[in-house]
Amino acid sequence: MTEESIYDDGLPNLDLDLLHIAQPEAFSAGSTSTHKPRILLLYGSTRERSFSRLLTEEAARVLQLLGADTIIFDPTGLPLPDSVPVEHAKVQALRELVLWSEGQVWCSPERHGSMSAVFKAQIDWIPLTMGAVRPTQGKTLAVMQVCGGSQSFNTVNQLRVLGRWMRMLTIPNQSSVPKAFLEFDEQGRMKPSSYYDRMVDVMEELVKFTLLMRGREALLVDRYSERKESAEELSKRVNQRAI
C-alpha cells in the first residue's frame, strides 16, 4: 500500500458497520442511545512537534471514519494539579470534556521509563467523584505510547494501572510506537507500517467496547459496599429521629 492510498482510500478494510450494533433493537437492551460514540483524546506533550499529539490526531481520524465524535484536549496552559483553584478555565474545560465522553484515548510519550508529567497532570485534575457524578467510572479507555528509542511498554502498563484506578474499562489492545521520529512525515502524518495498523486495530476495538457498554454504565457504578454504607447511614438517621 502506498503512502498516498492509506490516506485517500478511506481504509477499505475498516469495519464501518460498527455503529449498527448501537441500535437498541440490535444490541443494547434497554438503551435508547443512538448518538455517535463520544471519544475524548488526551496526549502528553506540549512540544511543537509532539509525536504523542501526532499519534493522537491519527487515532482521531480513524475514530471519525468509524463514526465517532472526537475531541482532542490540548494540555497547553493546564496548571499543575492543586496550584490553582478548580474553577480555572482550563481545568473546567477538561472536566467538562471528561463528563461529555463515553470513551477515552490516552497517549503519552515515555519519559525516563514512565508517562510524562504533562499527561499525569491531566489525570490528576480529574476527581473520582464530582458530587454525585463519577466522571470516569464505566467509561472505556484505550492506551497508547510513543518512544524516542526502542519499543517499550512501560508507559502503556502504567496507563492501564491509572485507568483501573479511575475505574475505567481499559480495552485489551494497545499501541506502542518505537522511534516515533521515524514514523511521521513532514506533514505530521503517520507513515504506513505495522505500527499504524496496530493503532487502527486499537481504535476499532475501542469503538466496539464503547458500543457494547452503551446504556450499561449504571451497572459499573453500583457497588455492594456503597449500597451497604448508604443503608447503614439511612438506618442511623431513622433511629436518631425515633429517639
Grade residue 25 by pLDDT with cuts at 50, 70 and 90: very low
Instruction: Summarize the confidence of residues 90-111 as an average pLDDT.
Output: 96
In total, the chain counts a number of residues equal to: 243
- CA-closest candidate to residue 177, choices 161, 159, 191: 191
Element containing residue 141 per DSSP (H, E): strand 140-146
Of residues 97 and 129, more confidently modeled:
97
Instruction: Summarize the confidence of residues 155-175 as an average pLDDT.
Output: 95
Which amino acid does the sequence have at 225? S
Domain at 3-242, CATH homologous superfamily? Flavodoxin domain (3.40.50.360)
22's torsion region: left (phi>0), alpha (psi -120 to 50) or beta?
A: alpha
The predicted-structure confidence for 212-243, as pLDDT tens digits, reads as follows 888 777 777 777 887 888 888 888 888 878 76
Grade residue 158 by pLDDT with cuts at 50, 70 and 90: very high
Which amino acid does the sequence have at 37? P
